[in-house]
Every structure is written in structure tokens, then in C-alpha cells.
Structure 1
Amino acid sequence: MEETELCFPQLNTSCVKPKRPLSDTVLIYMILSFISLLTAALNLLVIISISHFKQLHTPTNSLILSLAVSDFFVGFILLFQSMFIDSCWYIGDLMCVVYYGLDYIVCYSSVGTMVLISIDRYVAICDPLHYSIRVTQKRVQVCVCLCWICSLFGLVLLKDNLKQPGQYNSCVGECVIILSKSERVANLIWGFILPITVIVVLYMRVFVVAVSQARAMRSHIVTVTVQGSRKVTAKKSELKAARTLGVVVGVFIICFCPYYCVSLADQETLFNISSAAFLVCLFYFNSCLNPLIYAFFYPWFRKCIKVIVTLQILKSGSSDTNIL
């Protein structure tokens, strides 16, 4: 008989490690590690850039900073996913619930900040004359704090699991939490349906306004020479608006939809370990893409990376560097 391998060999009640090809295990480890390190590194660059350079201390960048902080912790938490590859949790039942609680908090704060960013862009483009009055640094800071406070809703979902950690474990070394049907529906609404609805509605409005402004530019053309250049500019504006809308909404749906659809299903009907790991990686990969979508599109970020990589950031007075 082939000898089974236990998570805790000294305990008879220990969980048994699943047997799978070594290639699958190595592949999952590589994917999780790559996403984790890349997510942490990209978001850390955003955090350092916005925190250090004074020119970047604006309301919009404060939202991007909040997004980067939450996504940075997503990259950190993703390291714990490696324990689930062997289906062995080695750091106790309480830490299992704490892990899931922190996971919910940072994911909710990340999604919530995305909503705040969409609101900020909506006001900036659809009501630019009143933007500086409505969107101030103090108001943005209050909204960010409220966003993080609302993200504590994740702990409410785990209230039954917090009362008695490990109550749903069938063996020692297992990390299992169970949400009721209503809790899973609440998670779906709070973490996916409500945010994506707000984002789609606001960005559709932004897209319509951007297209109408581009068409207005073409209608006021008076010379043939200027007409050609402005047609090109208007066309680029339309394409840019459409591309931004597609990236923001499309990436969010692609990364989040599969995970939340499976979360509504019974846990007994989940896919095999490889499929489940893929859904988890896809879900967390959104936090890796956020700095690319919201930061790499800004020219100042490339300048900040150059200053940081070349260690010019260590020079005195570097915070006053002209980045914009």
C-alpha cells in the first residue's frame, strides 16, 4: 500500500495531503508567487511615489494611494494562499479566521476605492467647473476613511466563524469557513453587483460626455487646415474614452465574475484544486492590474519610477522634484 502523507504526522486526526502531479503543484506555486510579488512591487512603487513627491498630493492621487495600499496588502495576503496548495493550514484555527477577515477587508477596500475613483473622474469630466469646490483633499480623506470602515463588513460575514474558530474543520490542519446562503448573497451584492453597477453607470456617463465634447470640437472647426488636425484629435479622444471604459469595466468583470459566481454555488460543487486555484489567482490578479490601469497611464508615474530606481529619491529635497 502506498503510504499517505499527513499535515501533522504526529496526530492521527491530521488532514491528509492530496496527491497530485508535481508539475501541477509547482505551476500553482509559481503563479501565486509571481502574482503576489508583482502586485506588491507595483503597488509599493505607487505608494512611494504619491507619498514622497509633494506635487502628487492631490485629491485624485489620494484615492490612487488608498487603492495602492489595499492592493499591496492583497499581494501580501496572497502569500498565505500557498498553504492551501497542500490543503494544510499550519498556524492555527484563529489565524485562519483572521486571514479570511483581512482578505475580505482589503478586497472590499480595493473595490470601494475603485468606486470612489470613478466618482472622482465623473465629477472631473462631467462637471469640471465645480470640481475644485466639490472634490477637496479633506473630503477625499473622509471618503477614504469611510471606505475602509465600510470594508469591515467582511468581519460581519465571519461573525459565526469568529465565535468558534475551526468549528467547521473536519481534521487538524484544515482552514474552512462556511457562509450561509444569505451571507454569500450579501457578499455578492456588496463586493460585486453594487460596485460594478456604480462604475458602469458613471463611466458610461463619462464616455457619453467625452464623445459629445469631441463632436462639439469638430462642429466648431472653421478652417480646412485646422479641420484635419482636429478631426484626428477628436477621433483619438473617442478612442481613448472607449478604451478606458473597456479596460476598467472589462478587467473588473473578467477577474471578479467567475469567483463570485462560484461563491454562490454549494461548496460541495466546487471545482478540483487546480480550477479553484485558477479562480483565486484570477480574482487577486485584479489588484495587480489596478496600478497598471490607474497609475501607469499617467506620465508622472514613469518619471517617479526613474527617480526611485536611480536612487535620486534619497537626495535631500527630492520631494520637491518637478514630476508633472
Structure 2
Amino acid sequence: MTETQDGAELCFPQLFNTSCRKLTPPWFEVMLIHTLLYSISLLTVALNLLVIISVSHFRQLDTPTNILLLSLAVSDFLVGLVLMPGEIFRNTSCWFLGDLVCTLYNYVSGIIPLSSIGDMVLISVDRYVAICYPLHYTTKVTVNRVKLCVYLCWLCSVSYSFLYVKDDLTQPGRYNSCYGECVLVIDYVLGAVDLVLYFIVPVTVIIALYMRVFAVAVSQARAMRSHITAVTLQLSVTPKAKKSELKAARTLGVLVVVFLMCFCPYYSVYLAGDSLVNAPSAAYVIFVFYCNSCLNPVIYALFYPWFRKSVKLIVTLQILQPGSSETNML
């Protein structure tokens, strides 16, 4: 880079009039920020890889709910592997990878979060059916049906995200104000549709379903405490089954609440009019949203004994032993 008279540095010195300029912060500050952010990225990759291996390897964990957690873990893994490093690079240095790579990165950065949102909605539906209609859960929610829903979720994310970058694919870098920049500009029409389809609708559905789940869970807990064995036909399941479903609802409820806490700030910035994705305020809330991917496995570790047990087996390489996939995990 070459310094200009105002103290900034040029990304491309040979293009003095059209090159982007970036102020260089102190060396210690740069190292501290990079170390912290890349450590979060690496931790996100490692933790979600443990979830992916656990659910994929142990047959006893092949349940509809865990299939949804697996899909979410894949999204979170890709966030740590691709999106976090990409955001760090895009917001702390010049973009040297070219306009086409920038477009592809923006495309991927649309697919992965949208799939996470879809997974959260599916998780809410799964808990709603399990708690509110326990007698029909095993027949209505099967592994194959859940897998189909997951595939459709990813397909919709891939298709919809194409709308973000269709203009950039025909003319890469058309919205860049200077060379060495990678931006994504969303027009008002697409932004409005995006706001409704991927914020208002999902958040409304998630909150509505979990309010219903919470109300039914409270009534079931009271019935269990008072030793009522059959209050209604839907509550005529064994106390052990009730306890298991209530615990799962609580755990996934924590997962959903943490997701909403990390997800909502991004759209708050958008509603404030900050539609330029790599603007400073937007960059901050995007990384907060991405940090949710690191928190999810921590929630599993706190609430799921099977995850703690599987991590121990993975770290000690016991999963390499013959027949380890049949290990009792529950």
C-alpha cells in the first residue's frame, strides 16, 4: 500500500484516483482484534464439527430432532469456516480477491444464515408437535420427513439468495465505490420482501409456537407434580416420556431465545436504514449474529448429556473402534 497525504493507505497504488483508502489502526490493536475474532471462528468450527460427528456417527442419535440440530450445526460450521473469516477480512483490510469472488462470497453469506433461520422454524414446529400432540408425534414427525424438510429448507435458501447477487453476476463490482471494496447492496423492494419473509414471519412463527409450547408444558408439569396420570387424551403419556419432552422443549427453547437475541439486532440496523452490508454498524451486528453459531454447541454441552458423552468418545478416539456407532448414548 501507499500512503496518501491524509494519512490513509491506498489498496491499489497504481490506481490512485479510483483505489479505496483505509486508515491503518495501531499494530497492537490489529493483532488483538484479529486474534480474538479468528479464535472465535476456529472455536465455532471445532465445536460444530463435534456436533456433526456426534449425530452422524452414533445411530441412537438419529432422531428427527437431532437431524434438525445436525442441519443447524452444518450451517454454524460453515459460518465459522467461511463467513466469519470473510467478514474479518472484508472489514479489516482491502479486498484483493476480485469482484467475482466477492459476488460468490455474498451469495454464500446469504444461503447459510437463511438456512439457519429455516432450521430454527423447523425446530419450533418439532417441539410444538412433540409437546402439544405427543400421541401423534412419532407418526407425524419421522426421520425421512424431517430430512425432506431440511433439504427443502436448504434448496429455498440457495434459490432465494440468488436474488441478492443476480445483478452482480452480470456485472461484478457494479456497486463498488472504489477498487479494493466488496459490498452488497439490497434494493428497497427485495429488502422489504426479505424483511417480511426472513424476519417478521419466522420470528412471529417461532414466538407463537413457543408460547403455545410453554403454556402446554406448564400444564403438563403441574399434572406430573400432582400425580395426575390422565388429564386429557393428549396428556396420557408416561411421566418419563413427559419429562423427556419437557426437558427437550426447555433446551431448545434456550437455543431459540439465544438465536433471536443474536438475530434481531441485524434487522434493527436494517430498519434504521443501514442497507449497506459492510457499513461499520452493520458489520458489527452481522458478527454478533454469526457468534450465535459458536454459542449453539455450548448450549448442547450444558443441557445434553449425550453431547458431553459423545465429545469424550470423539476426543479419546474411541469412535474409531469397531461397533462404536452402536454405543448407548442416552
TM-score by length of 1: 0.86
Equivalent position of 2:85 in the other structure: 79
| Shift in Å, 1:3 | 5.5
Which amino acid is 2:14 matched to?
A: Q
Count of residue correspondences: 310
Which amino acid is 1:213 matched to?
A: Q
SS of structure 2 residue aligned to 1:112: helix
Equivalent position of 1:214 in the other structure: 221
Distance 2:166 2:204 in 1: 27
Which amino acid is 1:112 matched to?
A: G
CA contact (8 A) 2:41 2:81 kept: yes
Which amino acid is 1:8 matched to?
A: F
| Shift in Å, 1:170 | 1.7
Distance 1:71 1:252 in 2: 12
Of stretches 86-95 and 110-119 in structure 1, the one that deviates more from structure 2 is 86-95
Identity among equivalent pairs (%): 60
Matches within 5 A, 1:138-287: 138-152=144-158, 153-220=160-227, 244=251, 247-267=254-274, 273=280, 275-287=281-293
Unmatched segments (≥5 aa) in structure 2: 230-239
Counterpart among 29, 38, 44 of residue 39 in structure 1: 44
**Is 2:12 aligned against 1:8?**
yes
Over 3 Å counting, the alpha-carbon distance change for 1:182 and 1:25 in structure 2 is farther
**Is 2:128 aligned against 1:122?**
yes
Distance 1:269 1:90 in 2: 20
TM-score by length of 2: 0.85
SS of structure 2 residue aligned to 1:166: coil
SS of structure 2 residue aligned to 1:323: coil
**Is 2:100 aligned against 1:70?**
no
Deviations along 1:195-229, whole A, 9 cap, x unmatched?
1111111111111111111222344479xxxxxxx
**Is 2:295 aligned against 1:322?**
no
CA contact (8 A) 2:124 2:206 kept: yes
CA contact (8 A) 2:12 2:180 kept: yes
Deviations along 1:67-98, whole A, 9 cap, x unmatched?
11111101112111122233411111011111
Aligned-CA RMSD value: 2.8
Which amino acid is 2:196 matched to?
A: I
Unmatched segments (≥5 aa) in structure 1: 223-232
Over 3 Å counting, the alpha-carbon distance change for 1:264 and 1:200 in structure 2 is same
Equivalent position of 2:237 in the other structure: none
Distance 2:120 2:28 in 1: 36
CA contact (8 A) 1:42 1:288 kept: yes
CA contact (8 A) 2:112 2:157 kept: yes
Equivalent position of 2:314 in the other structure: 308
| Shift in Å, 1:173 | 1.0
Distance 1:288 1:202 in 2: 25
**Is 2:26 aligned against 1:26?**
no
Distance 2:291 2:48 in 1: 12
